[in-house]
Structure formats: C-alpha cells, structure tokens
C-alpha cells in the first residue's frame, strides 16, 4: 500500500511539473507593427554585450547592470574563430561557453537576440572568421563557393547543438536569430542569403529569423520572408518607411544596431559622443514603439590578439586597439557612466505600467599597485622554437599559425649596402642585422623598405613580424594573410634561403627566463610578481613603455602601444588574487624598461607620435 501511495505521489508530481513547464513556456510572434510576447506587444530594449570581451566570472554582473538601466534583452554575436580555432577543433568552454552566457541571461530575467551570422565584423579579427579558411585553396567567404559552405555548415551545426535548446520555441530565452550580418554592404546574392536561412533551420534555429543592414543597403541585404532590421537609424519615420518598403508594408520595427558612440584604432583620437546628443533620439525611438539594440551597451576588452582592422581599397590599414570601451553606457570595467544614467532616465519614462527599475549597483572597487618589479628577463632570440626552412618566406597561414609573431631569418653575403624591400609586409616589422636593430616598418604608413648596411662576411638579417589584426570589414576580407606574404629584395634582387620561427604566444607557460639579451635593442620578455592583500579592478600604466602585450596570471590582457590613444590596460579583479600574482610583459621597442605601476582610472585618450 505504501509503495502504491508513493507511486501516486510521484505520478502527480510528474504531471504537475509537466503542466508547469508547459504553462511557463512563452510564445513569441509578430504582428503588423510589433513583436508579440505571450500575446502582448513587446518592445525590445536590447543592449549588445560580447561574451569573449568580458571575463566569464563577470557576465552576471554586467547583465545586472543592464537590467538596472532598463535593458530587457541582451544582444551578442557568435564568434566562429574562438569556437573553431583550428579546422574541426571546437571550443565551447570557459570564456567561450556561450550556452552558459545565455543561461545566465535567462536566470537574470533577460531575453537574448543571437547573431551567429557567421561573419560578424565587430572590430574582431577577420570579422570572426577563423584564419584557417584562407588555407583552403579557392575558398571564398560570404559566397556559394562549396568549400566555404561546407566549413560554414560544419560550424553552424555545432552552434545549433549548443544553443537551439535555449530558443524561445523550446522554452528558452533566445527570441530572435540573425541571418548573415550587413550582407547588403558586401554583396546582393539572395540565393546565398537563402542558403544561410536553410542552414540555420537545419541547425535547429526554428524561430524568428531576420536580416540587418545599414539603411542604404537594406535593398541589397534583405531576404523575402525574413523581416528586415535596420542599422544606424535615429528617425522613427525613416525606419518605419524602410521596413514597410521591404516587408510587405508592415513591421515589426527594429534597429538592430543603434550606435551611442564608436570604436578606436591606434594612432587616432579616442571617440566620444556626449549623452545629450542621443537622449532625445532614444526618447523618440522608444516613444514610437520601435525596438532597439544598443551597439554597444558594454564593449569590454578585445584581449589577446583578437582585434580587427579597417582597410579599404585606398590601401590604408588601421588596426584597432585592445580597449573596446566604445564610450558605451557601461564602461570597459562594467561601471555606469553619465551616459548610462541619462539613458536610464529616458528608458524609465517608457516602462510598462507598474514596472520599476532596480537600483543601480555601486561602482566596482578599484586598486592601484604602486610598483611592480621585474626580476626575470629573456631576449626574444633566446626563446626561438625549431625553425621551418624554405627558399621563400612563408606566411603565418602556411605554418598553421593564427596570431602573434613570426621571426624571419636569412643569411646573406656581407660587405654591401642598399635598400631592403619587403613586399606585402603584414603588418609591423622590426629589422635587425647581426642582432642590431636598424629600423621599423609599419604597414599603417605603407612602409616596406629600409636602408641596410651588411658588414663583411656572412650577415644575418632578422625580421620580426607582428600580426596586428586581420581586416574585419569590406572587400579586402579575402586579402588577410599575415607575415611576409610575398618576397624580400635587396637592391632589387630577391633574397632566398629563409628560416621561419613561429612565436604565437598562445600562452607563456614554457618561456625559459635566462636574464640574457645579446642583441642591441632586442625585444624582451620580462617577468615579475606582485602581492595583493585585496583585489579590485586596476589599469596598468604603460605610458613609459613602447609596444607589446601583457599577461596577468596567464591571461593575455591585450596590446599596448605608446602612440595611443590607449595608454592603460584594464586588469579585471576576477583575474587577480590575494597573495602572489604573476605578470609577463613582451616589450618590442623599449627593452630597457623595468618599472611598471597600475592606476585606478583608465587613460584612453592620449595620443603620441
């Protein structure tokens, strides 16, 4: 009898849980003017946050800040090159665990707009494409070329496995999924767009799909059957007219990228836009019932070597900085700005009746580390791996190297001088003769030649090349190989007999510090430790240094460069620890530096030349 009673209770519980799950599921559709959530008009007020640009340990805090400003939805791209860094090798763990990112949003009561594209732009390396696509001979990104579609399908199926359970159609919190990304700015092949749509559905994205394009490109980038979102529009009447034109005379109306500011690149001023320039526009957009995705609500940091670059047909090259502060409402460290408070006041005016915003959390704790001492060092020529030999220089891609640096070495008869010319240097090269630095070549200035004098005997020519970031936008996406991508000439004669030493610096675990540097002005790696009694956010002050990158407790926190505008590197509290902390700096052009401090506020607007 007892067993039967327990069985009955179990059955009743299962029935209750099933009924509860069914009744707690949401419906999400559209009508002629708006999105409809659970049968009621729903205005998305979305804020873009990119999970790779924020420490996983801080995702929840950033989302809580979003709610405090009045955000009800989080927008994010999905980054192909972090999830498939090498062909067929997938990574959805740690900071790449996008399913966890979406789950935390759901726990915080936030909806999600997903942008798996697979091209994302985003001021991100290669626009999100993995470098190895360039090793597939004949592959053409953003096209119907079979190799590209095969690689794309393999990837999007993996993304679908991770994220389709979180679609609103399956009881989750992902409302919308974007097909491609500003494709109208690139081409106008609707057959290609339809292949995208079919791949998304095959991957399990059985939800509302949409396209997004700048206003001038909606005509080329929309796909009949998907609703067209518009980027960069401020006027309600303009967005409504555009959407109706390409969506059978109806809505919903959605600004997929609304820009409250802009990003930065090396050697140009820090971009800022006063909040007052946008509060009135935001008020009108929300008052017109238009949904919006703020790009960015919180930019964060493009750590490691993942920044992209601008490069158009005119040939200029503009690598982007590590800070992705963006002058966004939430700053790089996740604190509310003046713009945050101004936008919050606007959003509060348009909340549904009875809804109240949470209090704004206090600013995060910051600390300053007065002095960091470096006790170990090694010259970069002392950490060279086994070389790859070739008659002509090989690219990063040839050697299956994604990012970082490559040292090119050749030995030539000496006793001569002349112009050393590097054809298609990408992107920053330091030239040495017999270990002595003789100059620097910078792609930004189209520099490809330098005068050299080779001493008598056999002369060793070294060229240390840095990949400063692959192009992320425009027609030059297909011209993204790195290193010395053509040939090297001396007085017009091609030099042959090269050794390539890959220096990807994927981690710093195996660096042997010998406290030796034999070359004149040889790039150097310095290692030190510092003690903390309490942790907090901080900013490394790199103003006395030259150019390089920094690791804290094994995390590559980004690049620095004295030309600015960024002069500090943000170190999140989540990656510091009480007690002993380790720091490693790779300094390229001022190896004599041996002192470093941190400060409590960032310096993002100081230019030097």
Q: Nearest 5°: phi and psi at 37?
A: -110, 120
Q: H-helix or E-strand containing 65? A: helix 59-69
Both tokens assigned to 20: 């509860």
- Asked if 117 and 77 touch (Cβ cutoff 8 Å), the reply is yes
Q: In 265-390, which residue ranges form alpha helices assigned H by DSSP?
A: 276-287, 338-349
- Asked if 34 and 42 touch (Cβ cutoff 8 Å), the reply is yes
**Exposed (0-12), middle (13-18) or buried (19+): which is 474, by Cβ within 10 Å?**
middle
Both tokens assigned to 358: 């949470």
Give exposure, 162-190, as e/b (b: 16+ Cβ within 10 Å): bbbebbbbeebbbbbbbbbbbbbbbeeee
C-alpha to C-alpha distance for 109 and 305, rounded to whole angstroms = 33
Beta bridge pairs of residue 454 = 416
Catalytic residues: 182, 257
| DSSP structural state of residue 322 | S
Closest CA to 522 of 407, 360, 604, 396: 407
- Asked if 441 and 431 touch (Cβ cutoff 8 Å), the reply is yes
Closest CA to 550 of 425, 369, 427, 385: 369
Beta bridge pairs of residue 560 = 548
178 three-class SS: strand
* R_g over Cα of the chain: 26
- Asked if 431 and 452 touch (Cβ cutoff 8 Å), the reply is yes
């Amino acid at each position: 009898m007892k067993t039967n009673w327990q069985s009955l209770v179990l059955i009743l519980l299962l029935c209750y849980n099933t009924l509860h799950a069914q009744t707690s599921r949401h419906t999400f559709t559209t009508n002629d003017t708006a999105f409809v959530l659970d049968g009621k008009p729903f205005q998305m007020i979305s804020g873009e946050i990119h999970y790779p640009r924020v420490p996983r340990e801080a995702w929840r805090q950033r989302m809580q800040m979003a709610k405090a400003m009045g955000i009800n939805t989080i927008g994010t791209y999905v980054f192909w090159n972090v999830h498939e860094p090498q062909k067929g090798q997938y990574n959805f763990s740690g900071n790449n665990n996008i399913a966890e990112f979406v789950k935390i949003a759901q726990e915080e009561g936030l909806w999600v707009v997903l942008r798996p594209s697979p091209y994302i732009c985003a001021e991100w390396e290669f626009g999100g494409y993995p470098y190895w696509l360039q090793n597939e001979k004949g592959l053409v990104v953003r096209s119907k070329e079979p190799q590209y579609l095969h690689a794309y399908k393999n990837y999007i199926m993996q993304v679908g496995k991770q994220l389709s359970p979180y679609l609103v159609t399956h009881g989750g919190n992902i409302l919308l999924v974007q097909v491609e990304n500003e494709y109208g700015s690139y081409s106008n092949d609707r057959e290609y767009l339809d292949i995208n749509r079919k791949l998304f559905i095959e991957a399990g994205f059985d939800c509302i799909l949409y396209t997004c394009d700048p206003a001038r490109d909606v005509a080329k980038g929309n796909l009949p059957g998907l609703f067209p979102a518009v980027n960069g529009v401020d006027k309600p009447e303009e967005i409504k007219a555009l959407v109706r034109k390409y969506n059978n005379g109806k809505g919903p109306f959605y600004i997929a990228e609304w820009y409250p500011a802009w990003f930065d690149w090396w050697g140009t001023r820090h971009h800022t836009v006063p909040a007052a320039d946008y509060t009135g526009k935001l008020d009108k957009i929300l008052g017109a019932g238009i949904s919006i995705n703020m790009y960015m609500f919180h930019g964060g940091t493009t750590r490691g070597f993942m920044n992209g670059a601008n490069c158009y047909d005119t040939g200029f090259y503009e690598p982007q900085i590590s800070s992705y502060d963006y002058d966004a409402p939430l700053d790089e460290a996740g604190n509310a700005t003046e713009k945050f408070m101004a936008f919050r006041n606007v959003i509060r005016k348009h909340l549904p009746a009875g809804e109240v915003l949470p209090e704004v959390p206090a600013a995060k704790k910051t600390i300053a580390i007065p002095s960091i001492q470096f006790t170990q060092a090694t010259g970069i020529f002392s950490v060279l791996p086994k070389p790859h030999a070739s008659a002509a220089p090989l690219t990063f891609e040839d050697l299956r190297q994604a990012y970082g640096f490559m040292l090119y070495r050749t030995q030539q008869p000496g006793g001569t001088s002349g112009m050393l010319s590097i054809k298609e240097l990408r992107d920053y090269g330091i030239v040495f003769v017999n270990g002595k630095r003789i100059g620097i070549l910078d792609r930004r200035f189209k520099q490809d030649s330098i005068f050299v004098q080779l001493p008598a005997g056999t002369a060793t020519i070294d060229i240390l090349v840095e990949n400063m970031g692959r192009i992320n936008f425009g027609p030059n996406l297909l011209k993204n190989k790195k290193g010395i991508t053509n040939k090297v000439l001396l007085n017009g004669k091609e030099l042959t007999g090269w050794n390539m030493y890959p220096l990807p610096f994927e981690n710093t675990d195996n660096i042997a510090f010998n406290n030796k540097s034999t070359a004149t002005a040889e790039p150097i790696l310095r290692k030190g430790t510092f003690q903390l009694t309490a942790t907090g956010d901080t900013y490394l002050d790199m103003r006395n240094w030259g150019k390089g990158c920094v690791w804290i407790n094994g995390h590559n926190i980004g690049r620095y460069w004295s030309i600015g505008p960024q002069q500090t590197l943000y170190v999140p509290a989540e990656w510091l620890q009480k007690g002993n902390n380790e720091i490693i700096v790779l300094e390229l052009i001022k190896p004599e530096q041996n002192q470093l401090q941190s400060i409590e506020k960032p310096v993002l607007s100081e230019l030097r030349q």
